[in-house]
């Protein structure tokens, strides 16, 4: 069924050699996809829309496709120990394996990136069933994380050939999540610029914002971050590296427990953060808590905002403003027992920032949690 495509399409846009239509999906390798899927459905409100496993002829793994708005997650687990999926889970715990990017031509995306030095993980391969065909190809990025290019222009099925469609999910309790705003990678000491160069040279991204250890430091720890964005700005990847501080930084804690670089957090956009976060809290999602002093200073720092400050404080939502407007954001605790991947819920009201004014309050909140875990 799988056969490589051979046709090359001409480059249509000389300024963007890797045109991306957005994030297609994020694939996680997990220890028990059935139970992880229940968490994402009941707590995050995602709907199970497709499934692949032994019942559909898949012998060595099972995958659950979950969707809410344009956010699509695939939870994949190994059915046997001798598998790359099982090895990934043993080393990293549950985590992101693939950030899949939606393209018009997966073959061309693979060619353009590999000729610029990307390491190929999967050559362009076409899969088909009665609903049409999908072409995918993959390249390596930081750690064991990969980027998959996926072209589904000739496919009318729910997700991918071989998946069974689930038409109704009685467990899903949607909370208003719309799309992925950004996905952040943690890389090792002094490795940020190497990965910034990778996104610039191999994938045609450019530097969107930059934060140094003076922007992002507390009494104890520091980090540096550069945000890379693709040509149309639909895909944004901040890259963090640890910086020297008096204690262990949250990035070092992540690198210790993930056993290397990987995805640190996924920011999910909503148009009503008060409603979304209220629902998530009701459904069992744990967020970082922010001290009262943050809210007494809030109005003088960000000026007039639409949301009542006491509501923001009750929920623990942070606010930041720049020249273009403001944004509201909140961060979950890690969603695994290892202090690795967590989520951000974000609502933008004009601002395109990443919450620089909140970094100190946020990192102090994370450090309180690190101290509880004995990792500060
Ligand atoms: Fe973020």
The yes-or-no verdict on residue 310 having pLDDT over 80 is yes
Cβ neighbourhood burial of 340 (10 Å; 0-12, 13-18, 19+): buried
Q: Are residues 205 and 96 in the same domain?
A: no
| Confidence band, pLDDT 50/70/90 cuts, at residue 9 | very low
Q: Which of 112, 131, 165 is the last residue of a domain?
A: 165
3-state secondary structure of 300: helix
Q: Are residues 298 and 182 in the same domain?
A: yes
Q: Are residues 186 and 151 in the same domain?
A: no
In the numeric block, which tokens belong to residue 162?
């071989």
- State residue 325 phi and psi, 5-degree precision: 155, -150
Q: Give how far the C-alpha of residue 27 lies from the chain's centroid of Cα atoms, to the nearest Å.
A: 10
Q: What is the pLDDT of residue 376?
A: 85
The yes-or-no verdict on residue 246 having pLDDT over 80 is no
Q: Are residues 157 and 242 in the same domain?
A: no
Q: What is the pLDDT averaged over residues 135-148?
A: 98
Q: Residue 319 sits in which domain range?
A: 177-373
Q: What is the pLDDT of residue 123?
A: 98
Distance 251 CA to ligand 1 centre (A): 14
Distance 372 CA to ligand 1 centre (A): 23
Question: In the block, which residue shows the tokens 């051979």?
Answer: 6
Distance 343 CA to ligand 1 centre (A): 8
Distance 327 CA to ligand 1 centre (A): 12
In the numeric block, which tokens belong to residue 358?
């909140």
Interval 315-330: pLDDT, tens: 999 999 999 999 999 9
Q: Are residues 195 and 66 in the same domain?
A: no
Whether 89 maps to a domain, the answer reads yes
Q: What is the pLDDT averaged over residues 304-314?
A: 96
Q: Are residues 149 and 218 in the same domain?
A: no
Q: Which of 165, 198, 217 is the last residue of a domain?
A: 165
Distance 191 CA to ligand 1 centre (A): 19
Distance 331 CA to ligand 1 centre (A): 8
- Which residues, in sequence order, are CB contacts of 338 under 8 Å at separation 6+? 93, 257, 258
CATH number at residue 209: 3.10.180.10
215 or 134: which leads in pLDDT: 134
Distance 184 CA to ligand 1 centre (A): 7
Angle between the 250-258 and 359-373 helix axes, to the nearest 10 degrees? 50
Q: What is the pLDDT of residue 211?
A: 83
Q: Are residues 155 and 183 in the same domain?
A: no
Angle at 136 between CA 131 and CA 140, to 5 degrees: 155
Distance 52 CA to ligand 1 centre (A): 31
Whether 4 maps to a domain, the answer reads no
Please indicate, yes or no, whether the overall pTM of this predicted structure exceeds 0.95: no
Task: Name which of 11-25, 26-40, 94-108, 185-199 the model is least confident about.
Answer: 11-25
Whether 307 maps to a domain, the answer reads yes
Q: Are residues 156 and 200 in the same domain?
A: no
- Number of domains the chain contains: 2
Distance 68 CA to ligand 1 centre (A): 19
Distance 172 CA to ligand 1 centre (A): 25
User: DSSP string of 54-117?
Assistant: GGGT-SSEEEEEEEETTEEEEEEEESSSSSHHHHHHHHH-SEEEEEEEE-S-HHHHHHHHHTTT
| Confidence band, pLDDT 50/70/90 cuts, at residue 217 | confident
Q: Are residues 118 and 62 in the same domain?
A: yes
State how far the Cα of 226 lies from the Cα of 207, in Å rounded to an integer. Answer: 7
In the numeric block, which tokens belong to residue 53?
């496993």
Q: What is the pLDDT of residue 25?
A: 98
Q: What is the pLDDT averaged over residues 45-69?
A: 97
Q: What is the pLDDT averaged over residues 3-25?
A: 66
Whether 2 maps to a domain, the answer reads no
Q: Are residues 211 and 321 in the same domain?
A: yes
Q: Are residues 80 and 209 in the same domain?
A: no
Distance 10 CA to ligand 1 centre (A): 36
Q: Are residues 76 and 156 in the same domain?
A: yes
The yes-or-no verdict on residue 290 having pLDDT over 60 is yes
Q: Which of 141, 165, 189 is the last residue of a domain?
A: 165
Distance 146 CA to ligand 1 centre (A): 20
Q: What is the pLDDT of residue 14?
A: 56
Whether 3 maps to a domain, the answer reads no
Distance 127 CA to ligand 1 centre (A): 34
Distance 118 CA to ligand 1 centre (A): 26
Distance 267 CA to ligand 1 centre (A): 5
Distance 354 CA to ligand 1 centre (A): 6
Whether 354 maps to a domain, the answer reads yes
């Amino acid at each position: 069924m799988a056969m490589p495509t051979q046709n090359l399409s001409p480059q249509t846009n000389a300024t963007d050699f890797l045109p991306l239509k957005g994030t297609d999906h994020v694939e996680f390798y997990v220890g028990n996809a059935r139970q992880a899927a229940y968490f994402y459905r009941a707590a995050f409100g995602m709907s199970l829309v497709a499934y692949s496993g032994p019942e559909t002829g898949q012998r060595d793994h099972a995958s659950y496709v979950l969707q809410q708005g344009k956010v699509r997650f695939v939870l994949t687990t190994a059915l046997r120990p001798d598998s790359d999926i099982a090895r990934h889970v043993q080393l990293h715990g549950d985590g992101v394996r693939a950030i899949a990017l939606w393209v018009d031509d997966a073959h061309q995306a693979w060619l353009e990136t590999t000729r610029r030095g990307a390491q190929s993980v999967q050559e362009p391969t076409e899969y088909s069933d009665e609903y049409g065909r999908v072409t995918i190809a993959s390249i390596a990025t930081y750690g064991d994380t990969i980027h998959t290019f996926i072209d589904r222009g000739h496919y009318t099925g729910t997700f991918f050939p071989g998946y069974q469609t689930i038409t109704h999910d009685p467990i899903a309790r949607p909370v208003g999540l719309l799309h992925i705003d950004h996905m952040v990678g943690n890389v090792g000491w002094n490795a940020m610029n190497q990965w910034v160069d990778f996104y610039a040279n191999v994938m045609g991204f450019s530097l969107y914002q930059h934060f140094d250890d003076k922007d992002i430091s507390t009494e104890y720890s520091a980090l540096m971050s550069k945000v890379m964005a693709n040509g149309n700005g639909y895909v944004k990847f901040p890259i963090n590296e640890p910086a020297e501080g008096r204690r262990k930084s949250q990035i070092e804690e992540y690198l210790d427990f993930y056993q290397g670089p990987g995805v640190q957090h996924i920011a999910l956009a909503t148009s009503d953060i008060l409603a979304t976060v209220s629902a998530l809290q009701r459904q069992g999602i744990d967020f970082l808590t922010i001290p009262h002093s943050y809210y007494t200073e809030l109005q003088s720092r960000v000026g007039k905002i639409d949301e009542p400050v006491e509501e923001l404080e009750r929920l623990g939502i942070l606010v930041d403003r720049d020249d273009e407007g403001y944004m509201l954001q909140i961060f979950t605790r890690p969603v695994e027992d290892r202090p690795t991947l967590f989520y951000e819920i974000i609502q933008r009201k004009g601002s395109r920032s990443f919450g620089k004014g909140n970094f100190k309050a946020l990192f102090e909140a994370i450090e309180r949690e690190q101290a509880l875990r004995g990792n500060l």
